[in-house]
């Protein structure tokens, strides 16, 4: 049973960079045809996929983030990470990491981490 766990600061200042890590246990980030994704949910709102990365390094990002996002996979640590630059209050959200597959959806999720953007 794969498990995912987000970690990182819960408070980030405006204009700075939000950095989160997702640690994967119970399976390897190189197994299967999965992609590794970050999804966020502003308080009281819906879900937004920021993008995803395969373990090969191939990535896809949501154009709405205008090149502010980078997702990378570290196969040696069995982790993947998110960097979101130039944050504003609009980036305040619960951030989830998730394992996905184009045919099977997101079958495993982390518990989520609340990140607040405030000075």
Binding site for another protein (CB under 8 A): 37, 46-49, 51-52, 60-64, 96, 98, 100-107, 109-112
CB of 18 to another protein, least distance (A): 19
Report the residue number, 16 or 41, with the smaller CB distance to another protein. Answer: 41
> Which residue, chain included where needed, has tokens 């045919």?
103
Cβ neighbour number for residue 43 with a 10 Å cutoff: 9
Helix, strand, coil share of the chain (percent; to 5)? 5, 50, 45
DSSP states of 38-80: EEEE-TTS--EEEEEE-TTS-EEE-GGGTT-EEEEEETTTTEE
CB of 11 to another protein, least distance (A): 19
Report the residue number, 15 or 72, with the smaller CB distance to another protein. Answer: 72
Report the residue number, 14 or 47, with the smaller CB distance to another protein. Answer: 47
For residue 51 the two structure tokens come to 């993008």
CB of 119 to another protein, least distance (A): 26
Report the residue number, 67 or 76, with the smaller CB distance to another protein. Answer: 67
CB of 98 to another protein, least distance (A): 8
Q: What are phi and psi of 65, to 5 degrees?
A: -90, 0
């Amino acid at each position: 049973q794969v498990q995912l766990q987000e970690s990182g600061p819960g408070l980030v200042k405006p204009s700075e960079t939000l950095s989160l890590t997702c640690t994967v246990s119970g399976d390897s980030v190189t197994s299967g045809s999965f992609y590794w994704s970050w999804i966020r949910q502003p308080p009281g709102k819906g879900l937004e996929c920021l993008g995803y990365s395969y373990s090969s390094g191939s990535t896809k990002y949501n154009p709405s983030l205008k090149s502010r996002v980078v997702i990378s996979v570290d196969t040696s640590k069995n982790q993947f990470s998110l960097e979101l630059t130039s944050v504003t209050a609009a980036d305040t959200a619960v951030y989830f990491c998730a394992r996905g597959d184009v045919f099977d959806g997101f079958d495993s999720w982390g518990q989520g981490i609340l990140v607040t953007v405030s000075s």
